Structure 1
Amino acid sequence: MAYVESFRDLEVYKLSRDLSLSIFEMTKQFPNEEKFSLTDQIRRSSRSVGAQIAEAWAKRRYQKHFISKLTDADGEQQETQHWIEVAYDCGYLDTNESNDLINEYKILGKMIGTMINKASEFCR
């Protein structure tokens, strides 16, 4: 693992930020009646992924805490996948938009899983 000075240098964090921005832009097209429900839920979960990764980085002195926060990040990315599927079911996303986002979140989940499996390399 190349040395990184900050969570901001982690590719997994950068991807989480990019995806949360994609979610934000996508949800601008959702109907107003979804503002306080689906729009709010999917934006919160997508933004939480990066926040959990940042917090994990801060807690890497303690491997169990590091893994716990990464597990929370993984849960948030899976929740975001759920909300993407709900948006698709409601007709707010087409098949390609939905599949593309789900696939990107699957990649993000694999990256988080790799960090969990290699936690000792981050927590030295």
Structure 2
Amino acid sequence: MKADKGFEKIISWKKARELNKEIYRLTTATEFSKDFALRDQIRRASISISSNIAEGFGRKTNKEFIYFLNVAQASCYEVKSQLYLALDIGYVSKLEFEPLFCICDEISKTIFGLIKHLQKP
């Protein structure tokens, strides 16, 4: 299978894939792994980012793609909120929190840029 043919080229998707891996790594360790509700929710939200980018790419129109990019963007903000909670209750340290939050920021910015690009006449 050859990667980088379709949605795999999208920077936001690549970053979301990196985020997925880190979220799974983080939620497998320590007390986080035992908090099934938060663990599963942050995993689902993270997966939603990459999945919606890919699904939107597969749609026939820019309008549909933009819709799914907005869903991905919202899921990115959900992950950010859940990271704050994990920090507040001691599941992650500030040292673990910051790089993940930065990845979310990068994803948000690149999704925003892609939406603006797709909206051009």
Please, what TM-score do these two structures have when normalized by structure 2?
A: 0.89
Q: Give the match for residue 34 of structure 1.
A: 35
- 1:19-78 superposed Cα distances (whole Å, 9 cap, x missing partner): 11100000011425402x10000000001100000011011x312111100000000011
CA–CA distance in structure 1, aligned partners of residues 76 and 101 of structure 2: 10
Name 1:92's counterpart in structure 2.
91
Match of 2:22 in 1: 22
Secondary structure of 1:93's aligned partner? coil
Let me know the Cα RMSD of the aligned residues.
1.7
List gaps (5 residues or longer) in structure 1.
none
User: 1:62 is matched with which residue?
Assistant: 61
- What's the % identity of the aligned pairs? 27
> SS in structure 1 opposite 2:90?
coil
Regions of 4+ moved over 2 Å:
30-33
Offset of residue 120 of structure 1: 4.7
Whether the 8 Å CA contact 1:42–1:80 is kept in 2: the answer is: yes
Q: Trace 1:5-16 onto structure 2 (pairs within 5 A).
A: 5-16=5-16
TM-score by length of 1: 0.87
Aligned equivalent of 2:47: 47
- State whether residues 7 and 13 of structure 2, in contact with CA within 8 Å, keep that contact through their aligned partners in structure 1: yes
Task: Quote the residue 2:71 is aligned against.
Answer: 72
Count of aligned residue pairs for this structure pair:
117
* Residue ranges of structure 2 left out of the alignment (5+ in a row): none
